[in-house]
Structure 1
Amino acid sequence: MILVLLLICAWYSVVTLKKQPATGADGGRALAEDVASELPAGAVVFVVAGTKPDDAAFAEAATESLKSAGHPITTLRGAPPEVKRQLLAEFTSNRPAIILCSASTASWQIFSEFEDVPRRYPIERLWPDFLKRANLINIADQIVVIAILAIGMTLVIITRGIDLSVGSLLALSAVATAWFIDRNGAEQASLGVMIAAALGAMLICGLMGLFSGVMVTGFSIPPFIVTLAVMLIASGIAFDWSNNQSIHRLPPAFTWLGRAGVTLPVVGIRIPFQVLLMLTLYLGAHGFMTRTVLGRHIYAIGGSPEAARLSGVPVSRVLIFAYTACGLLAGVGGVLMASQLKSGAPTYGATYELTVIAAVVVGGTSLMGGRGRIFGTFVGALIIAVIQNGMNLTGIDYGAQKYVLGAIILIAVLLDQLKRKYLNIRG
């Protein structure tokens, strides 16, 4: 699947290849990224720009990018005489390693007095829109919630089950979190209130997952029917709880998890905290499924529930655990979405269950149970996110995107069936 992901990335890199502008924010950001890799740590940089609107955007983008890489920046803007005076004043106490200039300053004669300092100008270059740093970070941001929900869905599908309630549980979690914060301080809510709200919402979703597991194991109701019912119940609770409205009186600090990030000091790349959380959950889930007895029991039940029972596996308890974990992770997704959007609404997560199932199936988990890998699910989620992002970049309308997603699910299931038939013939 990694090869498929790389081929899709290569395709979108080719079809979105175009000349990137040398002016404005894109020009400033691209030039700063090129220079940052060449400069020693802590090197002083001057950013020079004229008075045009594009110059302001250039200077702001270049300054922000270089500051995040740890370089001291001095920004000089204005007409040539004014910039010359600023340069002369700054050179006496703060000599730069390089001067970055906007495209409009290329013909300025004032730089003849500073020829001993290298200057760099933005140059138009061919580069795919798909591979822009901002777009790649956008893909990472977009994938987080779906990928986290897909961990729980993988556990359930490996046991030959399905959980259609994850989207509604996400909405319920977001509403519960926002409601609790709104009732306990709103914009002035304390950190303790926010943590309690998040944990409470996750607990509610975990209990809903527990209920699904008990219905499946205790009453032998098909998982499809149980989770369809829970999906409708959770959605109804979310709508009633919020009075069919968005709850948005939340403190600015609540967006820390969904919007903030940490900047790597050497390369200047900003990694969102929610991406770090997602990676941590995947590493933990991979270790759980490959190195624990409970993880092996999940695979055993998917291979043959009766054989697992005869081998001493507590089938009912393991299934209840899988559905409970799926509910808890849906709760985590709801808290993240509420943090991203600084609100909670009952409409969040609509049709997410379909995208999550697609990610799991594309990642190699069999709908027949018994087979699947956590990292395969991660790759599947990436494939879905990359395809959706690429379709947006190439202007494919929303309706056509639905066709593509449906075709992906069908192809993935068809390939799984063909693989099973091939293995049965060889066996």
Structure 2
Amino acid sequence: MRRFPPGTELIVALLVLALTLSILTWREQSPEGASGGNEAARSLVARYPKAQRILVVARGTESDRAFTAACEKQLVESGLEVVAKVEGTPIDVGNMLRELKKEKKSIDAIVCHRVASAWVPVSQANELLGVDQPIPVVSATSYYWPAFLKSENLINITSQIAVISILAVGMTLVIISGGIDLSVGSLVALSAVVMTRLIRDYAGAEQASTIGMVVCGLTAILVCAAVGAASGTIIALLKMPPFIVTLATMLIVGGLSFLISESKSINQVPPSLGWLGNGATLLGIPNCVVLMGVVFGVCELLLQRSVFGRHLYALGGNPRAAVLCGIRTERLLVVIYALCGALAGLGGVVYASQLRSGAATYGQDYELQTIAAVVVGGTSLSGGEGTLRGTLIGSLILGVIANGMNLLGLNTETQRIMLGLVILAAVGLDRLRSSRWLKRSPASPGNSLGV
């Protein structure tokens, strides 16, 4: 009898990984965006109550522009005068100070982002203005905190894994049935180019309406579902190995994507296309993450609470017994691969929304990342075992690893090596888990989460 609930091992592994990255990314932080601007303005008022004429300085990034806007508003509300605002580089700051000197305008203090506080023109502002007394420089109070645990980084992780996680849902169904689908990465590209091509040619391009984009997206998903159904039909009727069939499908679909896109990126789409991939409507949660949660929830109910789910586990556990029980395995396989194709198409729609374009190069290596997420999540490559809860945790583990390597400054080549090692480790653990000497009791379908 197991001492801990199913999935405990994965949850512990995820927590240990998060703790390790938190320690490795512990560094000095400074408030960013609007909150940083408000904090810097309040700090100036508290430390230099006599300062009246203020220069606000930050970089030209989107976050820093929010910083300067909030800072300026807070200063004006406090009754201070913002003489000038610089959003750019040290050169821009120097030019502004020289312009103020030329116009014989004085400043009492400089409020700036923490990064800008180290710029030479800021520290030498009195010399550039031709005054003897040093000009106070105020920035938001810094603090120490793991970069990994910053709220924007955690939200970024969930956004980054959204597409892979959606693909992993379909892959979980396929692997539980005892198969594999290597075409999901190519289907992401096909979905993206079909949708954007339809938007460009038939829905009005940059002036496309919301209804037009929805119709184009649904069409792309249906095309991918049809491709998946075709693969499932060949596997079911001709009894061909899923590996071979989906490998051929991957090559065929990849070629079609290049033909449809004419080997070019399709970016004649309206800015509103980015709502699904980059927007955040519900409580600040990215829309793509909300969609990912809905997909997981619906498919988890389908897998655990329906006849379809029971038949799926039976097919993966013992195909011969499933046939003898009266399960129409051929039709079930077609439905499974069609669902996997449709979810890959949905992933392609989200990906195209995130990048606001479509290209045949999208989705490269996604089939490997998807399989890795599923196997890390405890789904057996032998079929008949696995849950979507485990797949979700597996996707999070891979996302945390990738994000941690980015924070630590590791290059793409190293990340690919790590992905390969994770796949090898996951498959190796799957084989150990399947060994009779490791099993103390028969596994019940749908309850295997641990590695």
Whether TM exceeds 0.5 here: the answer is yes
Please give the alpha-carbon distance, in whole angstroms, between the structure 2 residues aligned to 1:304 and 1:293: 16
Alignment partner, residue 129 of structure 2: none
Other structure's SS at 1:19 match:
strand
Which residue of the partner structure matches residue 36 of structure 2?
Answer: 28
Secondary structure, in 3 states, of the residue corresponding to 2:281? strand
Partners of 2:205 and 2:113 in 1: how far apart? Answer: 47
Given candidates 226, 240, 244, the residue that maps to 2:259 is 240
Tell me how far apart the structure 2 counterparts of residues 169 and 30 of structure 1 sit (CA, whole Å).
46
For the pair 1:3 / 2:12, whether they are aligned, the reply is: yes
Partner of 2:55: 51
C-alpha displacement of 1:377: 0.3
Instruction: Give the secondary-structure state (helix, strand or coil) at the position aligned to 1:281.
Output: helix
Q: Note the C-alpha offset of 1:134.
A: 1.4
- For the 8 Å contact 2:228–2:340, the answer to whether it is kept is yes
**Map of 1:408 onto structure 2:** 422
Structure 2 match to 1:288: 302
Partner of 2:160: 142
1:317 matched to 2:326? The reply is no
Q: Distance in 2 between matches of 1:20 and 1:289?
A: 44
The answer to whether the Cα contact below 8 Å between 1:299 and 1:371 also exists between their aligned partners in 2 is: yes
2:393 to 375, 379, 391: 379
1:17 matches 2:23: no
Residues in 2 aligned to 1:253 and 1:391: alpha-carbon distance in whole angstroms? 32
Residue number in structure 1 paired with 2:230: 211
Q: Deviations over 1:270-328 (max 9, x none)?
A: 21111111000101011110000001111111110001111111111111111000000
Deviation (angstroms), 1:209: 0.2
Q: Which runs of structure 2 are paired with 1:382-397 in the superposition (5 Å)?
A: 382-397=396-411
Classify 1:292/1:183 alpha carbon distance in 2 versus 1 (closer, same or farther; 3 Å).
same
* Aligned counterpart in structure 2 of residue 173 of structure 1, from 159, 182, 191: 191
Contact persistence 2:57–2:113 (CA under 8 A): no
Question: Would the aligned equivalents of 1:172 and 1:346 in 2 still touch at CA under 8 Å?
Answer: yes
* 343, 353, 369: which one aligns with 1:355: 369
Aligned 8 A contact 1:254 1:339 in 2: yes
Alpha-carbon deviation of 1:157? 0.4
Provide the aligned length of Structure 1 versus Structure 2: 370
SS at match of 1:53: strand
Q: Tell me the equivalent position of 2:268.
A: 249
Map of 1:188 onto structure 2: 207
Summarize deviations over 1:342-393 as a string: whole Å, max 9, x none: 1110000011000000000000000011100001001100100110010011
CA contact (8 A) 1:27 1:122 kept: no
The alpha-carbon deviation at position 79 of structure 1 amounts to 12
Give the corresponding residue for 1:69.
none
Give me the identity figure in percent. Answer: 45
Residues 424 and 272 from structure 1, CA distance in 2 versus in 1: closer, same or farther, beyond 3 angstroms?
Answer: closer
Deviations 1:27-65 (A, max 9, x none): 707959xxxxxxxxxxxxxxx99413139976833877x
- The match for 1:89 is none
Q: Which residue of 2 aligns with 1:164?
A: 182
2:278 pairs with one of 255, 259, 267: 259
Q: Give the aligned partner of residue 66 of structure 2.
A: 60
Q: Distance in 2 between matches of 1:349 and 1:211?
A: 20
- The 1-side partners of 2:149 and 2:38 are apart by 12
Instruction: Give, in angstroms, the shift of residue 76 of structure 1.
Output: 2.4
Separation of aligned partners in 2, 1:127 and 1:371: 40
- Distance (Å, rounded) in 2 between the aligned partners of 1:283 and 1:49: 56
Letter of the 1:245 counterpart: K
- Contact 1:153 1:360 (C-alpha < 8 Å) held by counterparts: yes
Whether 1:82 and 2:81 are equivalent positions in the alignment is yes
Letter in 1 for 2:25: T
Per the normalisation by structure 2, the TM-score is 0.76
- TM-score normalised by L of structure 1: 0.80
Give the Cα–Cα distance (whole angstroms) in 2 for the partners of residues 79 and 292 of structure 1: 62
